[in-house]
Structure 1
Amino acid sequence: MTLLHQATCIAINGRALMIEGPPGSGKSRLALALIDRGAVLVGDDGVSLEERSGRLYASPAPATSGLLEVRNLGLLTFPTISNTRLALVLRLDPEAPRFIDAAEQIDLHRVILPLVRMWPDPDPLKAELALKRYGV
């Protein structure tokens, strides 16, 4: 069963990083910065998720496949990747803790995944480190 989830998602070395947060928090901006560093777009503002054998796999949402909203420039087209295993949820949250000892967990469509909260407009280096350190 495929489910649509409102978030932005990129893939780094075959692992998907889903970015959640309220409108204007920097989800697309972070995705763009990560793409500039070699990541590949899965989806912006909507991702198709499919559970297989207790894991979630992310693909572009059909209605917005290949589109990334770049503030002040509009919807721009980028290459995408499909069926990428979701490894980490990154939530842009102004109340994110300054330090963490371990990732939180989130039950996303009946699959438990690690969750890391970061201040809005995070540095792409921190996002990459979070995926490397806490991603499954």
Structure 2
Amino acid sequence: MSDVLPNVSCVAMRGRAMVITGAPGTGKSSLALALLDRGGELIGDDGVTLSQVGELVIASPPPNTMGLIEVRNVGLLEVPTTRAPVAIVISLTDDAERLPLGHGMAMILGRPVPQVALYPDTPALPLRAEAALEMHGLD
């Protein structure tokens, strides 16, 4: 079973994929670019291919934009890509709770995946995304 999820970005950190969701203009590509600067590897920008392998959901580059990431006001940057098991969904939203009591769950290909809402407009966003991966992401 395989599916292309549009309008998301996806970055691997330490072998685990973070699927980044949010409304247009919330900074999905900008967060992905900042995570690349912190040692992450691009899986997909503006889409990701998801497939089930045993108990895992694997994120792979989408064929139509493989190896490209949008750098707003600059253009498309070519970068190497990778694939990795999905560990967490990061939702960029202005409604993110300041001190949540846990995390939500998203269903991807029928599998539950931890989901954390983050406020998008902060310079600490890549640090928060990494902390969410470490605290709540699947191993």
Q: TM-score range by the shorter chain?
A: over 0.9
Q: Secondary structure at the match of 1:132?
A: helix
* Per-residue deviation, 1:2: 1.4
Distance 2:95 2:16 in 1: 26
The DSSP-based 3-state class of the residue aligned with 1:102 is coil
Percent sequence identity over aligned pairs: 44
Equivalences, count: 135
Say what the alpha-carbon RMSD is for the aligned residues.
Answer: 0.9
Paired residue for 2:87?
87
Aligned pairs for 1:1-136 (under 5 A) are 1-6=1-6, 7-82=8-83, 84-122=84-122, 123-136=125-138
Structure 1 unaligned regions, length at least 5: none
Structure 1: how far apart are the matches of 2:99 and 2:53? 33
The TM-score with structure 1 as length reference comes to: 0.96
Give the Å deviation of 1:54: 2.7
AA of the residue aligned to 2:134: K
- Matched residue of 2:24: which SS? coil
Q: Which residue type is aligned with residue 27 of structure 1? A: K
CA distance in 2, matches of 1:132, 1:70: 26
Deviation digits for residues 41-87 of structure 1, max 9, x if unmatched? 000010000012232100000010000001001111011002x1000
Runs of 4+ in 1 over 2 A off after TM superposition: none
**1:37 CA displacement:** 0.7
Once residues 80 and 101 of structure 2 are traced to their aligned partners in structure 1, the CA distance between those partners, rounded to angstroms, is 35
TM-score (norm: length of structure 2) = 0.94
| Structure 2: unaligned runs, 5 residues or longer | none
**Following the alignment from structure 1 to structure 2, what is the Cα–Cα distance between the partners of residues 38 and 121?**
21
Counterpart residue identity of residue 127, structure 1: A
